[in-house]
Structure 1
Amino acid sequence: MRLPRTAHTSRPWRIHEIAGDFHVEDVWALPTPGGPDDLRHLVRQIANNGGDGAAVSSPVYRGLFAVRWMLGRLLGWDKSGTGIGARVRTLRDRLPADLRECPRGPDPRSVPLTSVYQLHDEWAAEMSNRTVHAVMHIGWVPDEADGFRGQMAVLVKPNGLFGAVYMAAIKPFRYMGVYPALFRAMGRTWQAGAGRRGAV
Structure 2
Amino acid sequence: MRLPDSAHIEQPWRIHELTDDFDLEDVWQFRTPGAGSDDFPVLLAALQERQASKSTGISGLLFKIRWKLGALLGWDRESAGTGARVTSLRDRLPADLRDLPAPDTTDGPFTHVYLLDDEYAAEIANGTVHGVMHLGWVRGDSGYHLQMAVLVKPNGRLGRLYMGFIKPFRYLIVYPAMTRTWERTWKDLAVTH
Bin for the TM-score computed over the shorter chain = over 0.9
* Paired residues of 2:23 and 2:152 also in contact (CA < 8 A): yes
Give the 3-state SS of the residue equivalent to 1:2 in structure 2.
coil
Q: How does 1:87-106 map to 2 (within 5 A)?
A: 87-106=85-104
1:63 CA drift (Å): 2.3
Which residue of 2 is the match for residue 12 of structure 1? 12
In the alignment, the residues of structure 2 paired with residue 107 and residue 88 of structure 1 have an alpha-carbon distance, to the nearest angstrom, of 22
In the alignment, the residues of structure 1 paired with residue 103 and residue 2 of structure 2 have an alpha-carbon distance, to the nearest angstrom, of 26
Look up the equivalent residue of 1:49 and give its one-letter code.
R
1:86 to 84, 92, 106: 84
Give the 3-state SS of the residue equivalent to 2:149 in structure 1.
strand
Q: Deviations over 1:50-88 (max 9, x none)?
A: 3x872x543x21221222112111101111211111111
Look up the equivalent residue of 1:25 and give its one-letter code.
E
Is 1:114 aligned to 2:111, yes or no?
A: yes
Give the 3-state SS of the residue equivalent to 1:16 in structure 2.
helix
Look up the equivalent residue of 2:77 and give its one-letter code.
K
In the alignment, the residues of structure 2 paired with residue 82 and residue 74 of structure 1 have an alpha-carbon distance, to the nearest angstrom, of 14
1:192 CA drift (Å): 0.9
The runs of 4+ residues in structure 1 deviating greater than 6 Å are: none
Measured on the aligned residues, the alpha-carbon RMSD in Å equals: 1.6
The 1:178/1:152 distance shift into structure 2, 3 A limit, reads same
Give the 3-state SS of the residue equivalent to 2:182 in structure 1.
helix
Look up the equivalent residue of 1:140 and give its one-letter code.
W
Paired-residue identity, %: 52
1:134 to 123, 131, 136: 131
* Paired residues of 2:135 and 2:148 also in contact (CA < 8 A): yes
Which residue of 2 is the match for residue 21 of structure 1? 21
Instruction: Specify every segment of 5 or more residues in structure 1 that has no aligned partner in the other structure, as ranges.
Output: none
Give the 3-state SS of the residue equivalent to 1:148 in structure 2.
strand
In the alignment, the residues of structure 1 paired with residue 140 and residue 115 of structure 2 have an alpha-carbon distance, to the nearest angstrom, of 21
* Paired residues of 2:47 and 2:185 also in contact (CA < 8 A): no
Look up the equivalent residue of 2:178 and give its one-letter code.
L
Is 1:167 aligned to 2:169, yes or no?
A: no
1:48 CA drift (Å): 2.6
Report the count of equivalent residues.
192
* Paired residues of 1:47 and 1:106 also in contact (CA < 8 A): no
Look up the equivalent residue of 1:188 and give its one-letter code.
R
The 1:107/1:90 distance shift into structure 2, 3 A limit, reads farther
Instruction: Specify every segment of 5 or more residues in structure 2 that has no aligned partner in the other structure, as ranges.
Output: none
Which residue of 1 is the match for residue 154 of structure 2? 158
TM-score by length of 1: 0.90
Q: Deviations over 1:15-59 (max 9, x none)?
A: 001111111100000133311011111221233333x872x543x
